[in-house]
């Protein structure tokens, strides 16, 4: 469905830009165009073919959109009036609009609509028609898009059209894509001459990526014997590239996982560093952050639907406040009575985590809640051979921002200075006049607040449920003990190392075994460096 | 020497616990088997394995107390030793099913036939022999604890770091046992047991015998722990708990002391697990859940750590409470458990036994005060400070 929506918005975008930017482009008056479009509704497939032929001659870019929607099988007409309409959602649902004027048609209902039927023959005609209208368009953007879509489909029926487009093309970049598309089509036609094959193979190889690899592999079976070695070398070259990109992909997944771990662990690291307290309820703070996002989105959905894309920006400070205040309450209410008894603190916070989990379950039920992605976080983009989803990308960025911000807070603010002093030597700091209880409360609030921010981020890549935090807590501990306490860089290195290592082990041993291996490696690592990678040096560590 | 050690071990409290456990070991089966149905003192059939289960939990709590209460090592992975002991017993019980399984394979347990395995994995060999299985119940948890403890204590991993890697250990085992190709039945674990030592596992007599075995095993564990903590080694353990560095500088090999306590504790936990499995009829990977291991800590804490009787009281009380709560108000059990964690750590760090001790001391003090007050009135002597009992 997303793809359809995306395609449609691209088509719409094209229509708009074309309409505004190139007034020279054929533009037919609405009143003239509407009956031509409506001619698609009645009659059989033959009649429709004729109607498409007429539409193409108008050269109007609005026709392209109509044809594309028809190709998807999502074009509807009103049974009573025979009028062709668009619907905003697939399956003939949502708002109904006029395809020509884009005006809403409130009089029509979804019940009265019927689908304009297409068959394979008509689809071929449609593709050619769209190709004609776009490949020969005067707008370079439209031509490029058309060439790319032909490259994707590689439909032999488009060969002639493509040839004429190549002949008339002046832009070198677009011409290259068209030639690549032509080459991909040639590889699909076994009766092409040897010369054509030989010319086509390097062109297709230059496309790169998995699609080129697939095209070449298919072609290898039908190719004449003379060009088989050539194709094989091309395939090998592509496979090598692919392997390199796969490594890059693993690194990216690893960084992505690592930044999730970083977000979840960094708050834990500072509370542990400053107070020597293991906060078992940390995972629940993450969970509360995620639920804050959920609540914010629900409120927005019901009251201010237009603000949806801003929901995360609203949820972030709220989540920080909510979890930070709960954190301070926990510190003041429970933990301050347990100083010098880290193991007891661990137990008390575990008890709190059970209570929080159960309370959230009572309020929001145990059902999994889905938190929506704002539009700017959905979808993905390609970087070379990598497919990077926007939400993961933003989470990596967000984790880095949080990390740097925390680093700055620790380094350049008074509370940060106090926190570092207490981390290094609590008694000495106290003797110098630092109010350690206040620092403790602030640290705990800050650590919990960051957990809340992590929850907002995590709600974007998974579902939200009362035991969301439990899934991250052990991993966060691993990051902290691996990286060492009292140094944020340790947490960063720990999180990224664990993330990348996890993703590199995973393909060989599977996710579960990979995780077990990582856990065992960490247990062994702790034997070597009992206080983590970046251990604090000095007398303070012997608590 | 052994008699001497025994004599020392059997201080007054330990004698009482062992005696009570032995009485229970006889009385409960008798009441269940001998008294006619409907007799007010007759224990219903369902209650026998239930009580037996509580006893194995008490034993697990006692095992944890030996390392935590006496040696200062907070293990968050004791459930793993319990579960491994349970799996060893489960493997024996699986092999006893024989051709009565769904697939009627004389050698392979059902889940292996289902996974299309052709032969028994090497670690399943010999598990059809009860004594070999019992050896494994002791050996495997002990060995795991030895290797893990050796590595950890040698490099001086202490405090919360140790707690967290024990948690990582049980978590890794949880993930491992969930895997089907580990050969332990994956997600479903081992179940559908039929016989133990040739007796039907669901027969009231077998259940009564299992209960008696649990009570006797617990009594033996009490004896063993009591012997250890009252020996010189036990004193060193307490010294390690209270001031590890100082003990090391006094010339004791702290890591070996800890290792000893950890291994003995793991073995006791393993035996408890082995007794648990035939009474509940199933063992699955959820026993490895880190949350379970943390729950064990709270049993020990509720009863009172650093005492022999405490963890037994705690293990039984909390689990009776759990049975009641999960039946009567299922949605409030986690609230109650969570509150228990908080309340116990905040207000009764020494647990129920500590509270009783406090009360006891308070009353004796008052009596003494009254006595000295009257003596003062008679002779006009300043009250002397009572020496504080060692804590």
pLDDT, tens digit, 9 for 90 and up, residues A229-268: 787 888 888 888 888 888 888 889 899 989 989 998 998 8
Q: Is the pLDDT of residue B57 over 60?
A: yes
Q: In terms of pLDDT, which residue wins out, A437 or A152?
A: A437
Which residue of chain B comes nearest to A515, CA vs CA? B172
Give the model confidence (pLDDT) of B182-194 as tens digits.
889 888 899 889 8
According to the model, what pLDDT value does residue B22 have? 93
Q: Is the pLDDT of residue A13 over 50?
A: no
B163 close to A (CB below 8 A): yes
Residue corresponding to tokens 């926007």: A390
* % residues pLDDT > 90 (chain A): 20
Q: What is the DSSP letter of A211?
A: H
- In chain A, what residues touch B167 (CB-CB under 8 Å)? 474, 477
H or E segment to which residue A254 belongs: helix A228-275
Residues belonging to chain B: 391
Q: How far is A337 from chain B (nearest CA, A)?
A: 7
CA angle, corner A454, sides to A452 and A459, nearest 5?
100
d(CA A498, CA A482): 9
d(CA A377, CA A310): 11
Domain ranges of chain B: 2-349
Distances (CA, A) of B90 to A75, B195, B203: 63, 11, 18
H or E segment to which residue B196 belongs: strand B195-196
Give B374's pLDDT tier (boundaries 50, 70, 90).
low
Give the HSE-up count for residue B342: Cα atoms under 13 Å, Cβ half-sphere. 21
d(CA B51, CA B57): 10
d(CA B249, CA A340): 22
Helices marked H in chain B: 2-9, 12-33, 47-68, 78-97, 110-114, 130-154, 159-178, 204-230, 232-242, 244-249, 254-280, 290-303, 309-328, 333-347, 351-379
According to the model, what pLDDT value does residue B135 have? 95
Q: Is the pLDDT of residue A156 over 80?
A: no
**Under a CB-based contact definition with an 8 Å cutoff, are residues A462 and A352 in contact?**
no
d(CA B23, CA A251): 64
Q: What DSSP line would sit under A412-459, residue for residue? A: HSHHHHHHHHHHH-HHHHHHTT--HHHHHHHHHHHHHHHHHHHHHHHT
Residue corresponding to tokens 């039927």: A117
- In chain B, what residues touch A519 (CB-CB under 8 Å)? 168-169, 171-172, 175
Give Cα A511 distance to the centre of its chain. 21
* % residues pLDDT > 70 (chain A): 92
According to the model, what pLDDT value does residue A389 have? 85
Q: What domains lie within chain A, and their CATH numbers?
A: 2-138 (no CATH), 251-541 (1.10.3470)
Residue corresponding to tokens 């990051």: A479
Give the model confidence (pLDDT) of A405-444 as tens digits.
999 998 999 989 998 888 888 888 899 999 988 998 999 9
d(CA B146, CA B153): 10
Q: Is the pLDDT of residue B138 over 90?
A: yes
Give the model confidence (pLDDT) of A327-338 as tens digits.
999 999 998 888
Distances (CA, A) of A237 to A30, A242, B98: 52, 9, 57
Measuring CA to CA, which residue among B248, B247, B276, B300 is closest to residue B66?
A: B300
Give the model confidence (pLDDT) of B127-137 as tens digits.
889 999 999 99
DSSP 3-state of A435: coil
B347 close to A (CB below 8 A): no
d(CA A237, CA A239): 5
What are phi and psi for residue A93, nearest 5 degrees?
-115, 175
Whether B338 and A354 lie within 8 Å, measured CB to CB: yes
Give Cα B152 distance to the centre of its chain. 22
Residue corresponding to tokens 């620790």: A410
Residues 6+ apart with CB under 8 A from A386: A245, A248, A249, A252
Locate A56 and state its tokens: 């193409």
Max avg pLDDT among A58-72, A200-214, B328-342: B328-342
**Under a CB-based contact definition with an 8 Å cutoff, are residues B110 and B100 in contact?**
no
Interface of A with B (CB under 8 A): 272, 276, 278, 334, 337-338, 341-348, 350-355, 357-359, 362, 470, 474, 477-478, 481, 512-513, 515-516, 519-520, 522-524, 526-528, 530-531, 542-543
Cross-strand pairs, A77: A84, A114
Q: Which of A352, A353, A526 sits opposite B161 (nearest CB)?
A: A526
Strands A76-78, A84-89: pairing kind: antiparallel
**Under a CB-based contact definition with an 8 Å cutoff, are residues A153 and A7 in contact?**
no
d(CA A476, CA A479): 5
Distances (CA, A) of A189 to A146, A241, A306, A322: 21, 26, 51, 64
According to the model, what pLDDT value does residue A536 have? 66
Whether A346 and B157 lie within 8 Å, measured CB to CB: no
d(CA A3, CA A80): 31
Whether A519 and B331 lie within 8 Å, measured CB to CB: no
Q: What is the DSSP letter of B317?
A: H
Site from A278, A494, A527, A531 to mutate, B interface, most B CB atoms within 10 angstroms: A527
d(CA A222, CA B79): 62
Q: In terms of pLDDT, which residue wins out, B385 or A246?
A: A246
- Taking the CA atoms of chain B, what radius of gyration do you get in angstroms? 23
According to the model, what pLDDT value does residue A289 have? 94
According to the model, what pLDDT value does residue B384 have? 42
Locate B247 and state its tokens: 């003990």
Q: What is the DSSP letter of B181?
A: G
Q: Which of A359, A512, A527 sits opposite B179 (nearest CB)?
A: A512
DSSP 3-state of B339: helix
Mean pLDDT of the B26-45 span: 86
d(CA B210, CA B231): 31
- In chain A, what residues touch B337 (CB-CB under 8 Å)? 351, 354
d(CA A453, CA A260): 11
Locate A478 and state its tokens: 């691993």
Give the model confidence (pLDDT) of B255-283 as tens digits.
999 999 999 999 999 999 999 999 999 99
Site from B341, B347, B350, B354 to mutate, A interface, most A CB atoms within 10 angstroms: B341
d(CA B181, CA B115): 9
Give the model confidence (pLDDT) of A364-400 as tens digits.
888 888 888 887 877 778 776 677 888 889 999 999 9
Q: Is the pLDDT of residue B249 over 90?
A: yes
d(CA A506, CA B76): 27
Cross-strand pairs, A239: none
d(CA B288, CA B184): 13
Give just the sign of the alpha carbon dihedral A515, A517, A520, A521.
negative
Torsion of the alpha carbons at B257, B260, B261 and B267, rounded to the nearest 10: 180
């Amino acid at each position: 469905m997303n793809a359809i929506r995306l395609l449609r918005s691209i088509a719409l975008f094209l229509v708009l830009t074309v309409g505004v930017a190139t007034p020279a482009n054929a533009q037919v008056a609405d009143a003239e165009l509407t009956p031509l479009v409506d001619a698609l509704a009645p009659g059989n497939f033959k009649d429709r073919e004729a109607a498409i032929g007429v539409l193409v001659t108008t050269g109007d870019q609005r026709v392209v959109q109509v044809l594309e929607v028809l190709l998807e099988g999502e074009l509807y007409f009103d049974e009573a009036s025979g009028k062709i309409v668009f619907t905003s959602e697939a399956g003939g649902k949502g708002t109904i609009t006029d395809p020509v004027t884009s005006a809403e048609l409130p009089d029509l209902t979804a019940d009265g609509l019927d689908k304009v039927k297409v068959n394979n023959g008509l689809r071929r005609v449609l593709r050619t028609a769209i190709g004609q209208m776009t490949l020969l368009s005067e707008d370079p953007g439209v031509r490029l898009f058309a060439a790319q879509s032909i490259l994707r489909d590689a439909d032999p029926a488009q060969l002639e059209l493509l040839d004429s487009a190549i002949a008339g093309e002046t832009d070198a970049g677009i011409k290259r894509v068209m030639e690549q598309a032509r080459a991909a089509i040639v590889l699909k036609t076994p009766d092409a001459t040897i010369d054509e094959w030989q010319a086509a193979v390097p062109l297709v190889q230059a496309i790169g990526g998995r699609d080129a690899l697939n095209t070449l592999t298919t072609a290898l079976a039908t190719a004449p014997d003379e060009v088989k070695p050539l194709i094989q070398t091309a395939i090998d070259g592509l496979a090598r590239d692919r392997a390199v990109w796969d490594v890059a992909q693993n690194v990216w997944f690893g960084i992505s996982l690592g930044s999730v771990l970083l977000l979840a662990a960094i708050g834990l690291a500072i509370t542990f560093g400053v107070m020597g307290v293991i906060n078992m309820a940390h995972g629940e703070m993450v969970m509360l952050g995620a639920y804050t996002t959920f609540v914010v989105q629900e409120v927005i959905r019901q009251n201010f639907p237009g603000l949806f894309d801003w929901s995360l920006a609203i949820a972030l400070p709220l989540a920080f406040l909510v979890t930070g205040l709960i954190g301070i309450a926990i510190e003041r209410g429970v933990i301050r009575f347990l100083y010098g008894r880290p193991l007891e603190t661990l137990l008390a916070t575990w008890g709190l985590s059970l209570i929080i989990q159960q309370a959230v379950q009572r309020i929001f039920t145990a059902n999994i809640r889905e938190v929506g992605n704002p539009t700017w976080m959905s979808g993905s983009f390609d970087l070379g051979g990598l497919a990077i989803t926007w939400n993961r990308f933003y989470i990596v960025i967000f984790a880095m921002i949080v990390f740097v911000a925390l680093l700055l807070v620790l380094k350049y603010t008074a509370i940060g200075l106090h926190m570092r002093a207490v981390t290094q030597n609590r008694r000495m700091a106290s003797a110098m006049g630092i109010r350690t209880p206040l620092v403790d409360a602030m640290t705990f609030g800050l650590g919990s607040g960051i957990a809340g921010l992590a929850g907002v981020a995590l709600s974007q890549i998974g579902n939200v449920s009362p035991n969301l935090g439990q899934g991250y807590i052990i991993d966060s501990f691993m990051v902290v003990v691996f990286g060492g306490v009292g140094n944020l860089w340790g947490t960063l290195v720990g999180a990224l190392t664990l993330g990348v290592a996890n993703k590199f082990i995973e393909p060989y041993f599977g996710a579960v075994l990979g995780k077990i291996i990582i856990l065992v490696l960490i247990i062994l690592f702790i034997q070597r460096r009992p206080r983590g990678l970046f251990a604090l040096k000095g007398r303070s560590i012997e608590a | 020497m052994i008699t001497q050690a025994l004599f020392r071990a059997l201080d007054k409290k330990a004698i009482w616990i062992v005696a009570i456990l032995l009485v229970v070991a006889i009385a409960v089966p008798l009441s269940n088997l001998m008294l006619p149905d409907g007799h007010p003192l007759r224990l219903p059939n369902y209650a026998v394995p239930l009580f037996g289960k509580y006893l194995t939990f008490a034993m697990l709590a006692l095992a944890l107390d030996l390392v935590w209460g006496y040696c200062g090592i907070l293990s968050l992975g004791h459930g793993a030793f319990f579960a491994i002991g349970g799996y060893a017993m489960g493997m024996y019980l699986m092999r006893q099913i024989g051709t009565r399984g769904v697939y009627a394979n004389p050698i392979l347990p059902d889940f292996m036939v289902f996974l299309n395995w052709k032969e028994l994995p090497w670690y399943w060999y010999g598990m059809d022999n009860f004594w070999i299985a019992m050896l494994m119940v002791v050996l495997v948890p002990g060995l795991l604890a030895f290797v893990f403890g050796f590595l950890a204590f040698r490099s001086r991993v202490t405090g919360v770091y140790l707690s967290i890697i024990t948690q990582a250990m049980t978590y890794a085992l949880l993930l491992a046992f969930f895997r089907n190709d580990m050969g332990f039945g994956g997600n479903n674990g081992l179940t559908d047991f039929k016989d133990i030592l040739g007796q039907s596992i669901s027969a009231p007599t077998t259940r009564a015998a299992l209960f008696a075995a649990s009570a006797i095993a617990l009594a033996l564990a009490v004896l063993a722990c009591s012997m250890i903590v009252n020996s010189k080694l036990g004193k060193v353990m307490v010294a390690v708990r209270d001031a590890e560095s100082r003990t090391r500088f006094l010339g004791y090999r702290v890591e070996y002391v800890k290792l000893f306590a950890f291994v003995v504790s793991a073995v006791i936990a393993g035996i408890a697990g082995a007794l648990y499995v035939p009474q509940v009829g199933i063992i699955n990977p959820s026993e490895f859940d880190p949350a379970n291991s943390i729950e064990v800590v709270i049993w020990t804490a509720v009863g009172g750590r650093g005492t022999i009787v405490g963890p037994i009281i705690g293990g039984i009380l909390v689990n009776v409470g759990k049975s009641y709560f999960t039946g009567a108000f299922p949605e409030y059990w986690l609230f109650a458990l969570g509150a228990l964690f908080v309340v116990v750590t905040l207000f009764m760090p020494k647990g129920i036994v500590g509270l009783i001790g406090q009360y006891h001391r308070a009353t004796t003090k008052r009596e003494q005060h009254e006595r000295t007050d009257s003596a003062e009135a008679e002779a006009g002597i300043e009250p002397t400070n009572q020496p504080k009992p060692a804590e």
